[in-house]
Amino acid sequence: MRAAVVTSFGGPEAVEVVETAVPEPGAGQIRIKVAAAALNPVDAGVRQGVFGGAGERIGLGWDVAGTVDATGAGAAWTVGEEVVALHYGTVKPLGTHAEYVVVDADAVAKAPAGADAVHAATLALNALTAAQALDLLEVTPGRSLLVTGAAGAVGGYALQLAAHRGITVAALAREADEELVRSLGAARLAGAGEGGFDAVLDAAVLGEAALERVRDGGAYLGVIPHAEPASVRGVRTGAVEVAADGRRLAELSRLAEEGVLTLRVAETFALDDAQKAHARLAEGGVRGRLVLVP
């Protein structure tokens, strides 16, 4: 089978599509025939060597949508079921940017009914990150929340999930994206230098500039583990490290079916054009996810 990997770190040109053996599922695992797999900023980080792994062949891709192709012992899935999954891991020999991928059965959920595989592939990593981040922030209705990078994938899901929970949320985004973020649930755009928020989800990785917008004793959460700014003024700081969770992913899949979550695709690329997809991601300004199709 074909798979996108890196064997040395660098720019988009470091991505290689190689021939490799089809992986076999072990106990408690399933193999998915990949129909589509999203490209995320974490993949660029892996490609650049941010997470280490020098000298190894590292597979790319965390998100996947496809069909169950084989099951290991104890995996309660049926061959042919349409599923989505998060394949967690920064340094792994194979990722989801491949024709087949093996994942733990408890990281899998049924794909959203009515969504094609390309759109379904945008769900797992970003929606789980947003949901788990909101849990950590412990924001409740009546409290104020600011989401930076609100037009992005994590930010957009965070807006929709917060609005669904009855939380009034302000968005930090470009003026050109105001219509988009309002459509995703933002009550308004945050003003320049506006502060005093009970909580901030810093999906744009602004760091201290976002921390300044939190009231004394509030909460700040970043999206890069161990990269959050130090606490000041009694503000609780931290970062979400996404965890694979099939049960939670199933809830998010149902919300996508119900229209609570919007599955946004910016552009699709063939797996063989993975370098081009990475180059497009590096250009920035993507609204929705780039998706690779084997």
Q: Where in the chain are the domains?
A: 2-123+263-293, 126-239
* Strand residue runs (E) in the chain: 2-6, 15-19, 29-39, 58-59, 63-71, 82-86, 100-104, 108-110, 145-148, 169-172, 188-189, 197-202, 214-222, 236-239, 265-270, 289-293
Q: Name the pTM for this structure.
A: 0.96
Reported as a single tens digit per residue, the pLDDT across 249-264 is: 999 999 999 999 999 9
Q: What is the CATH number of domain 2-123+263-293?
A: 3.90.180.10
What is the band of 230 on the pLDDT scale with cuts at 50, 70, 90? very high
Average per-residue pLDDT for the chain: 97
Number of H helices, E strands in the chain: 8, 16
- Say how many C-beta atoms besides its own lie within 10 A of residue 126's C-beta: 30
- pLDDT in the model for residue 143: 94
Q: How far is CA 15 from CA 87, 202, 213, 233, in A?
A: 19, 29, 38, 44
- pLDDT in the model for residue 57: 97
Q: How far is CA 65 from CA 61, 79, 142, 165, in A?
A: 11, 14, 36, 27
Taking the C-alpha atoms of residue 225 and residue 237, their distance in angstroms, rounded to an integer, is 11
Contact 168, 112 (CB under 8 A): no
Average pLDDT over residues 266-278: 98
Taking the C-alpha atoms of residue 73 and residue 56, their distance in angstroms, rounded to an integer, is 29
Contact 290, 147 (CB under 8 A): no
What is the band of 114 on the pLDDT scale with cuts at 50, 70, 90? very high
Q: What are phi and psi of 103, to 5 degrees?
A: -135, 160
What is the band of 67 on the pLDDT scale with cuts at 50, 70, 90? very high
Reported as a single tens digit per residue, the pLDDT across 45-62 is: 999 999 999 999 999 999
Please give the share of the chain, as a percent, with pLDDT higher than 70: 100
Average pLDDT over residues 8-36: 98
**Triad 39, 151, 282: Cα angle to 5°:** 40
What is the band of 240 on the pLDDT scale with cuts at 50, 70, 90? very high
Residue indicated by tokens 């917008």? 213
- pLDDT in the model for residue 291: 98
- pLDDT in the model for residue 141: 94
* Strand residue runs (E) in 183-288: 188-189, 197-202, 214-222, 236-239, 265-270
Strands 214-222, 236-239: pairing is parallel
Residue 146 in tokens:
């600011």
The identity of residue 62, as a single letter, is: W
Reported as a single tens digit per residue, the pLDDT across 136-183 is: 999 999 999 999 999 999 999 999 999 999 999 999 999 999 999 999
- pLDDT in the model for residue 98: 98
Average pLDDT over residues 179-188: 97
3-state secondary structure of 181: helix
Sign of CA dihedral 70, 72, 73, 74: negative
Please give the share of the chain, as a percent, with pLDDT higher than 90: 98
Taking the C-alpha atoms of residue 61 and residue 205, their distance in angstroms, rounded to an integer, is 21
Tell me the CATH number of domain 126-239, given options 3.10.450.50, 3.30.70.260, 3.40.50.720, 3.10.20.600: 3.40.50.720
Average pLDDT over residues 187-214: 96
What is the band of 201 on the pLDDT scale with cuts at 50, 70, 90? very high
